[in-house]
Amino acid sequence: MSLSKVACLILGTAGLAAAHGHIDRVDIDGKSYGGYLVDKYPGQPNVPELIAWSTAATQDAYIQTFDYSHPNIICHQDAKPGALAGEVVAGGNVTLHWSRWFEDHRGPVISYLANCNGSCASVDKMKLKFFKIEEAGLLDNSKSPGWWASGELMAANNTWTVNIPSDIAAGDYVLRHEIIALHNAMSDNGAQAYPQCINLKVTAGGTATPKGVPATQFYKPTDPGILVNIFNNLRTYLIPGPALYNGRGAAPKVTAVIPAGTSSPAMSSTPAWTTLAAAPQACGSVPNRSAP
């Protein structure tokens, strides 16, 4: 058993809940929308109507890699569509604010859109076909374990701004935004996916109707971007999932600069203190459930 798993078990029995983060606010074009406050809303009688999808991930837990073909990977645990939609002009920006994040939860930040073919409020999530509109992963590998998109998000007050492609057809879309934490990803079933969804009404726009794929087909537990030791002086990191949609206005937000041969030769194995430090937030994936 790995050191991190031991620490996880010890801390787990000590009663520390898994605690990571969720989107608690969305800003679009000067307007603020509330997120689904998973630490408050479940079980509450008068939950406001939201653009955000509800989830049952009350401990801010993650989706484990063994569940990447389970419907929970679409918009998180037992997710249900929000009743409202945030209006954004094609080519505009959507800024997502995370309640919190952890420096050691390093990994890529990825965003997708799926057309609902009508209102997203009652959409069947199994029919959503997503195309990837943005991705950012290992941004600088000069000092292992590197500077990651997740760090960039934290440096921006836990926000990430997604640029909506300017050429897509107007309509109702689900924006699926996700951080994948890789601090335990050197082990089977170690990567942690944190998907969050909101409904958007895209206005103006063009005529593009990009082909998408169901989220249950994005990732495999053995993908090189999922089963990966980030403490092993990575030269490059292959962001998992389908190819980026490269229509107009959908250029990647950040271009990773990976200078060849500049990684430090110092550490060749996982430093124990790093996995230990990661452990308190590393326990508690979402349990398997049968599809509804």
Ligand X SMILES: *[C@@H]1O[C@H](CO)[C@@H](O)[C@H](O)[C@H]1NC(C)=O
Interface with ligand X by CB under 6 A: which residues? 25, 66-67, 91-93, 97, 115-117, 123, 127-129, 157, 161, 163, 288
Beta bridge partners of 62: 285
Q: Of the two residues 93 and 262, which places its CB atom closer to ligand X in the complex?
A: 93
Distance in angstroms (rounded) separating the CA atoms of residues 146 and 155: 15
Q: Of the two residues 28 and 234, which places its CB atom closer to ligand X in the complex?
A: 28
- Non-local (6+) Cβ contacts of 201 within 8 A are 85, 86, 87, 88, 171, 172, 173
The least CB distance from residue 118 to ligand X, in Å, is: 8
The least CB distance from residue 199 to ligand X, in Å, is: 12
CA 180 to chain centre: 5
Distance in angstroms (rounded) separating the CA atoms of residues 30 and 95: 10
Dihedral through CA 179, CA 210, CA 241, CA 287, nearest 10? 60
Q: Of the two residues 142 and 209, which places its CB atom closer to ligand X in the complex?
A: 209
* CB 241, CB 108: distance < 8 Å: no
The least CB distance from residue 238 to ligand X, in Å, is: 23
Q: Of the two residues 25 and 80, which places its CB atom closer to ligand X in the complex?
A: 25
Q: Of the two residues 17 and 204, which places its CB atom closer to ligand X in the complex?
A: 204
The least CB distance from residue 77 to ligand X, in Å, is: 13
The least CB distance from residue 89 to ligand X, in Å, is: 7
Exposed/middle/buried for residue 153 (C-beta within 10 Å: 0-12, 13-18, 19+): buried
